[in-house]
Amino acid sequence: MTETALKESEGGALYKAPHVAGYAEVSHETKLQLFEQVKADLRFGDYLYGCYECGICVGACPSAKFYDFSPRRIAQAAAREDVDLVYQQMQEDIWECSQCFSCLRCPRGNNPGGIVTIMREVAVNNGLASAKQALVGYSRIIYKILSTGTQVSPDMLQADAFPDWGPEVADVSDNLDLWRRALPAETMHTTSTGWAVADKTLVELYVIWLETGVLDMIAQVDDDLHSILRELMEDRLEEAGIEL
């Protein structure tokens, strides 16, 4: 009998079999190691103080209204150091959070949304299935923010990408260059970035990504994207005469 099936037969937490869950069951040691990474984040102690079980965070949470998601369970699993449940949440729950931080209404001062942020980081750093799945379709946006320093660009407004945003999206797309040139602010005549960003500033940004390990994080979830970004940044830094 598998470990998961055993837990189900014992009436424990309703863990799914791996073929249903879509992610691999891992050893307790691995789960513990992942939780230790969450706890090691310098913000963790500032985000968790205990739980009154009042449910105010759930009442305020938009994701709880639409998904099987509960900020209270996030805070409690972390407080109880229930590494099995934390692992399940890292694989199933954390990407549903809206990161609006309405849960900061917590009378105890907890920050369940912040704990989710840390859990997501650990999921990315370890290449968990949930992170890879959540970031499918997101590569272009990560490329844009890491390479240009602005995330949302005018040329992202394409009718086929936003069919539910109305016909105005196609109007923008069809007239993009002209409409951007009609903007009175000089920095905003751009179409592939939100505004013009100086070359020197981009180089400084690349130094930050490389020095803080952000580029290495990308390698865990998208090898191709990592290669493209690495080449781009290294070329740019070499041109600027910067060695890290």
**Which 69-98 positions form the footprint of another protein (CB under 8 A)?**
76, 79-85, 95, 98
* Among the listed residues 16, 18, 33, 44, the single contact to another protein using CB under 8 A: 44
Nearer of residues 158 and 235 to another protein, judged by Cβ:
158
Question: Interface with another protein by CB under 8 A: which range of 16-24, 38-46, 232-240?
Answer: 38-46
Among 5, 22, 50, 158, contact with another protein (rule: CB under 8 A) = 50
Q: Considering the rule CB under 8 A, would residue 187 count as an interface residue with another protein?
A: yes
The residue from 38, 48, 57, 233 that contacts another protein (CB under 8 A) is 48
With CB under 8 A as the contact rule, the residue among 196, 235, 238, 239 that binds another protein is 196
Residue 156 near another protein by CB under 8 A? yes
Q: Does 211 bind another protein (CB under 8 A)?
A: yes
Q: Distance (Å, rounded) from C-alpha 5 to C-alpha 239?
A: 57
Q: How far is the CB of 32 from another protein (least distance, A)?
A: 9
> Which of 1, 20, 186, 224 forms a contact with another protein (CB under 8 A)?
186
Between the alpha carbon of residue 84 and those of residues 16, 20, 176, the distances in Å are: 12, 17, 50
CB 204 within 8 A of CB 210: no
Query: Are the beta carbons of 74 and 112 closer than 8 angstroms?
Result: yes
Using CB under 8 A as the binding criterion, the count of chain residues that bind another protein stands at: 110
Alpha carbon distance, N-terminus to C-terminus of the chain: 51
Q: Does 16 bind another protein (CB under 8 A)?
A: no
Smallest Cα–Cα separation from 133: which of 176, 92, 174, 105?
92
Q: Which of residues 157-176 bind another protein (CB under 8 A)?
A: 157, 162, 164-166, 168-169, 171-172, 175
Q: Does residue 18 belong to the site contacting another protein (CB under 8 A)?
A: no
Smallest separation, CB 68 to another protein (Å): 13
Q: Which of 89, 91, 102, 173 binds another protein (CB under 8 A)?
A: 102
The radius of gyration of the chain's CA atoms, rounded to the nearest angstrom, is 22
Question: Per CB under 8 A, which of residues 112..151 are in contact with another protein?
Answer: 117, 120-121, 123-124, 131, 134-138, 141-142, 145-146, 149-151
* 238: number of Cβ within 10 Å: 10
Verify binding: residue 68, another protein, rule CB under 8 A: no
